[in-house]
Amino acid sequence: MSQEEMRDVVELSVDGPVATVTLQREKQLNALNRAVLTKISEVAAAVAERSDVRVVLLRGAGRAFAAGADIAQMRDFSAADAEAFSRLGQAAFAALEALPQPTIALVHGYALGGGLELAMACDIRIAAEGAKFGQPEVTLGVVPGFGGSQRLPRLIGQGNALYLLLTGEMVDAAEAMRLGLVSKVVPQDELETAGRQLAERLLTLGPYALAGVKRTVYEGAELDLHSGLRMEAGRFGLCFAHPEQTEGMTAFLERRKPDFPQASLDEGGAAR
């Protein structure tokens, strides 16, 4: 086995409170095969257990974030293989979305098909100038299988989502920004710095409130407005049984910066 083959297809590195997950199938533009998806699930499970990790960055090595599911692996799938593959990817991305820590996708090169679906399973997306986005599944004779038909309309609205899904057209970073697919576009050589700076900002905030925001938004997306508001009120109430609220509000009134207790995720019940 060559050095390249032995290297893990997904690397997790932890630097203090920031974890970086890197896709490492550069030669295939980080095409997502079974091994990559399985590894993403494992990495998400590992990160979920680590209260020292407070922010997760997701990136692709080489010249792309990810150019989609692995077409070579998929071509000869039976219908049952394809459904199982879809479920494998959906489970991996659901595990990422369910992390209590905020996740930031740093997108450069291409985020196509499963690559865009992976980026959409992250909480925040930053794009490098020159990045290209799209759901080209129809050009391959299939529908999306890792959540694109569900997360894209929720993220950018049904009309724009249907445009991208039905045409398979790629859009550039500026158009992705206009559509609301990404929150920021930066020069390519500043992508890592922009990710780091955003992580630093999130590190000043309380992990309990951040996890609570994530959970409230994602759970709310599955509810009608009335039920969502009731759920929000319940979680808002729970915050007042947690030290982050006391510290945040006291710091404001004392005109100082809050110093949130950091290993506090498991206290109370708003976050999980």
How far apart are CB 66 and ligand HXC at their closest, in Å? 8
How far apart are CB 244 and ligand HXC at their closest, in Å? 38
How far apart are CB 47 and ligand HXC at their closest, in Å? 23
How far apart are CB 147 and ligand HXC at their closest, in Å? 9
How far apart are CB 96 and ligand HXC at their closest, in Å? 15
**Pick 141 or 159: Cβ nearer ligand HXC:** 141
124-72-42 Cα angle (round to 5) = 45
- Residues contacting residue 237 through CB under 8 Å, at least 6 positions apart: none
Q: Are 135 and 112 in contact (CB under 8 A)?
A: yes
**Pick 22 or 28: Cβ nearer ligand HXC:** 28
Active-site choice (49, 137, 169, 267): 137
137 is catalytic: yes
Chain residues that interact with ligand HXC, rule: CB under 6 A: 28-29, 31, 67-72, 85-86, 89, 110, 112-114, 136-137, 140, 144-146
Helix (H) or strand (E) holding 58: strand 55-60
169 is catalytic: no
3-state SS, one letter per residue, for 180-209 = CCCCEEECHHHHHHHHHHHHHHHHCCCHHH
**Pick 70 or 123: Cβ nearer ligand HXC:** 70
Active-site choice (5, 83, 117, 200): 117
Q: Are 245 and 178 in contact (CB under 8 A)?
A: no
The number of C-alpha atoms within 13 Å of 243 and in the hemisphere containing its C-beta is: 11
**Pick 67 or 265: Cβ nearer ligand HXC:** 67
- In the three-class reduction of DSSP (H, G, I as helix; E, B as strand; rest coil), residue 42 is classed as helix
What are residue 97's DSSP bridge partners?
A: none
- Residues contacting residue 53 through CB under 8 Å, at least 6 positions apart: 14, 17, 18, 19, 47, 101
**Pick 67 or 186: Cβ nearer ligand HXC:** 67
Give the catalytic positions in this structure: 117, 137
